[in-house]
Amino acid sequence: MTKRRPARFPLVLLGMGNVHRNLLRILDRKAGLLAERHGVALPVVACADRSGFVLGPEGAGSRLGRPAIHAAKDGGTPLREIPGSAPLSLAEALDLAGPSGILLDAASMDLETGGIGLRAARAALARGQSVVFANKSAVALAFAELEETAAATGAGLGWSATVCGGLPVVNVGRGELVAARFRRVRGVFNSTSNLVLERMAAGRTLDEAIREAQERGIAETDPTNDLNGTDTAAKLAIIARTILGAPVTFADVERRGIEAAPTPGRDEAVRLFGEAVPGPDGGFRLRVAPHAVPKASFFGSMGALDMAVEWETDIFGVQRLAATEGDAIPTAAAVLRDAVHIALGRPAAPPRRAPARRKSA
């Protein structure tokens, strides 16, 4: 019996930090399983860092292998300075991927303009090419526009990796809680701030705690956005916009970081919370701030490497999700999850559409 060849969905990787470097390793290990179980192949035909786009390891005629990419990026060398790399423009990278191509955005966060991630997403979606986000910027700033463009061109859109890494907050909240109305959401969405608060409570210095988070690959070189609540606020805005259906953006979130952390009591722990609570106009008030909670509570009993969410709905009651993620691998796995769902035609976060009206007889 002839074995069917897997369907190809060429990937364009934007950003070559911890997430996409781990994704490359996962693809190396899981290529056979992806072909056998899901019938898909995900060749990397182009990739980009701050130096620009280059021909990827599976691009036609490429002389840039994955080991060279890992060695260069681990040593801080830009992609375009790797011997044998072939520079590309964004348009050329998307051309290489073709109609079934998927742009994966794990570029650095830019919550002022959306940066290269938003520009590249607009270009891909306008062509009908699908986009998967690990970078929160575009989703936090322009989700309505992106969703509208994707619907118009038939492109897929995935963003589950933008909230709590591998924890399927977006997938469950948007896809599984059918007909539910959300009353409130509360969560610890940033693993770096949680680790730092836990380590400092145990007597470590701020610098020591940050260094550990960076060595684990869960904190950026500059962890300011993690510690001042910016990252949590972006994730809360994404939850509010894409799960709760609230017409909000990042600018609507009240924010305080760990600098405002209270002194906990003996049986308390401090967490940096993102919360969506009922507002005075019937909508939601969005706020990020550190609070002390009992150690015996759900959030108080979390580990240093945990992220968690708790939500209350009208028909599903109170639900809690939690995960332990000590590195960037689960976030990379979430990117892969979204890409495979798109390839199979079943996006993990289905679009919200009004039901079609039945024609009268």
Q: Residues with catalytic annotation?
A: 235
DSSP 135-149: SSHHHHHHHHHHHHH
Using alpha carbons, select from 192, 190, 187, 193 the residue that is nearest to residue 217. Answer: 192
Block residue for tokens 């080991």: 67
Contact 319, 311 (CB under 8 A): yes
3-state DSSP call for residue 227? Answer: helix
Type of residue found at 238: I
Cα 252 to Cα 115, 162, 236, 284, 312, distances in angstroms: 20, 18, 10, 10, 21
DSSP 359: P
What distance, in Å, lies between the first and last C-alpha atoms of the chain? Answer: 50
CA distance 334 to 341: 11
C-alpha 220/C-alpha 338 separation (Å) is 23
Judge contact between 157 and 150, C-beta under 8 A: yes
Between the alpha carbon of residue 187 and those of residues 33, 106, 142, 275, the distances in Å are 34, 23, 23, 7
H/E stretch holding 291: strand 284-294
Cα–Cα distance, 248 to 122 (Å, whole number): 20
Provide the pairing of β-strand 317-324 with 306-313: antiparallel
Cα-based distances in Å from 88 to 11, 23, 34, 303 = 14, 21, 28, 44
Sequence-ordered alpha helix ranges (H) in 80-127? 90-97, 115-126
Q: Dihedrals φ, ψ of 254, to 5°?
A: -70, 140
Element (H, E) at 232: helix 230-242
